[in-house]
Amino acid sequence: MQIELQALGDSPWAEWLSCREPQLYHYYEPEPGLFIAESPNVIARALQAGYEPVSLLIDRKELGAQTEALIAQCGSIPVYLAENAVLNSIRGMNLTRGVLCAMRRKPLLFSHTVLQSMRRLALLENVMNPTNLGAVFRSAAALGIDAVLLTAGCTDPLYRRAARVSMGTVFQVPWYILPDAPEAAGTLQDLRKDGWQSAAMALRNDSVSIDAPQLRAAEKLVIVLGTEGEGLAPETIAACDYTVRIPMSHGVDSLNVAAASAVAFWALRASAAPEP
């Protein structure tokens, strides 16, 4: 059902776009809430991952074969069409991709059993910038990370900017939010019991180079990255098997967490399994 909008107030989108994203997270509390996916590619990947669409909001000039195919995939949900000026009429709102979809969240419950067949994990501690988080997920998808674990202090991977920067890979790479306690250090200790080794990306005098052969040879490895600026907590570093440094030039001591993740995921990728 396509509905022409002269004002966002004629639709539920006025409320959804006025909400802060944490409010959308709790929109149906105690049930999982809403998130807003932006751009046809991101929405398509969310649909492929099994997320339920609630409503579409589309800039009229974006109508075409791609958006019509997307509408068809969404079933009988309301589809609101509006001019760009209407879409951007909410203060602070700047729609850059012309297509939005309100979608229901799914419960994502962490269990060690889901990791049994995996070889490379990323664990993010309190990475709060959604642009950085989205870029980490894009690198994770491209460079062989099987799943991403996030402490409760991380930004939400389904926040609109994070999902958009990730190019929708937040819907392709499995991810789990760790319980508030014991967070990173306790999780790493538990993973060690299941045969996982861990590498903390940190600036320490006792660090090993990222090209150390024992890192690449690890059968199961967790790559641990910390928040912007402060990096990893001391207790998280202490819980890891290795502290790893990326060699630098020209007096540069560190990389942004998004850039560091791409280097680390590539350098520490799993070796090819031996042929039978």
CB atoms within 10 A of CB 72: 8
Burial class (CB in 10 A: 0-12, 13-18, 19+), 186: middle
* 58-64 long-range contacts, CB within 8 A, separation 24+: 58/82, 58/98, 58/99, 58/100, 59/83, 59/84, 59/87, 59/95, 59/98, 59/99, 61/98, 62/98, 62/99
Give the bridge partners for 36, in sequence order. 102
| Confidence grade of residue 73 (pLDDT, cut at 50, 70, 90) | very high
- φ, ψ of residue 132 to 5 degrees: the values are -60, -45
Half-sphere exposure at residue 70, Cβ-oriented, CA atoms within 13 angstroms: 27
Tell me if 154 sits within 8 A of 179, measured CB to CB: no
pLDDT at 30: 87
pLDDT in tens, 136-146: 999 999 999 99
Give the bridge partners for 37, in sequence order. 101
pLDDT in tens, 149-184: 999 999 999 999 999 999 999 999 999 998 765 679
d(CA 43, CA 127): 24
- pLDDT greater than 90 at residue 273: no
Nearest to 34 by CA among 202, 156, 181, 213: 156
Check the CA dihedral 57-61-65-66 and report its sign: negative
- Strand-strand pairing, 197-201 and 175-177: unpaired
Average pLDDT over residues 247-256: 82
Which is more confident, 243 or 179? 243
Range with lowest mean pLDDT among 145-154, 161-170, 248-257, 259-268: 248-257
| Confidence grade of residue 92 (pLDDT, cut at 50, 70, 90) | low
pLDDT in tens, 183-201: 799 999 999 999 999 999 9
Nearest to 72 by CA among 56, 87, 84: 56
Q: What is the DSSP letter of 139?
A: H
Coil, helix or strand for 229? coil
Q: Whose structure tokens read 């520490």?
A: 268
Range with lowest mean pLDDT among 46-50, 93-97, 146-150, 261-265: 93-97
- Strand-strand pairing, 208-209 and 221-225: unpaired
- pLDDT greater than 90 at residue 265: yes
pLDDT at 276: 42
pLDDT at 275: 42
d(CA 166, CA 160): 10
pLDDT at 165: 94
pLDDT at 228: 80
Please, what are the domains in the chain?
Answer: 2-104 (3.30.1330.30), 112-267 (3.40.1280.10)
Q: CA angle, corner 109, sides to 141 and 229, nearest 5?
A: 55
Average pLDDT over residues 28-41: 91
